[in-house]
Structure 1
């Protein structure tokens, strides 16, 4: 189930193979994703959930920041994705 703060791997589109973080849930089919680099918080990508591979990791830093202020910094998004990639060994 998609939720804010969950890390995803993009399986379709020009960002294919990259990681991003869900920063918004539109409905059961579509979410908003950002990676803090090419796809920034201010310009999130609307993505079909079927085109994403949901990872078993939810970033509490992103979740807490979104709950407190309604936004998250691009640096925090980059940090979370980089930390996840290191843990995964990529």
Structure 2
């Protein structure tokens, strides 16, 4: 997993939760409240209509922004839970493939 150089979260950015009950899970930033807090959702346990308010210090910013989620949020101000689930699962699949390649000696 690559941590972003920028600590400023972007709409549609994948984050890993570092603290709390959802520790270790991946979510997507759906709104920035201020310089310290964002709203995150994953489309499954955390739906778009009930996002989790999280301090950005409790999140690891991944260097990936989902274009589908970002575009949907910019155009309509909403995103479907299906798009959120798809973006998270696609990202998790990509990083598991990279870990598998690294384990098998490929790069």
- 1:7 pairs, out of 3, 11, 14, with 14
Question: 1:6-51: per-residue Cα shift (whole Å, max 9, x none)?
Answer: 0000000110000000000001100000000000000000000000
- Are 2:47 and 1:47 equivalent residues in the alignment? no
Distance 1:14 1:39 in 2: 12
Q: Which runs of 5+ in 2 are unaligned?
A: 1-7, 98-107
Higher strand share: 1
Structure 1: which 5+ residue stretches go unaligned? none
Q: Distance in 2 between matches of 1:84 and 1:3?
A: 16
1-side partners of 2:11 and 2:23: how far apart?
20
Task: Find the counterpart in structure 1 of residue 104 from structure 2.
Answer: none
Q: For each residue in 1:34-81, what CA deviation from the matched residue of structure 2 results, as whole angstroms up to 9, or x when unmatched? A: 000000000000000000000000111101000111100000000000
Cα distance in structure 1, aligned partners of 2:34 and 2:10: 11
Count, aligned residues: 90
Normalising by the residue count of structure 2, what TM-score does the alignment of the two structures yield? 0.82
TM (norm. structure 1) is: 0.98
Larger Rg: 2
* 1:89 aligned counterpart, secondary structure: helix
Distance in 2 separating the partners of 1:30 and 1:68? 23
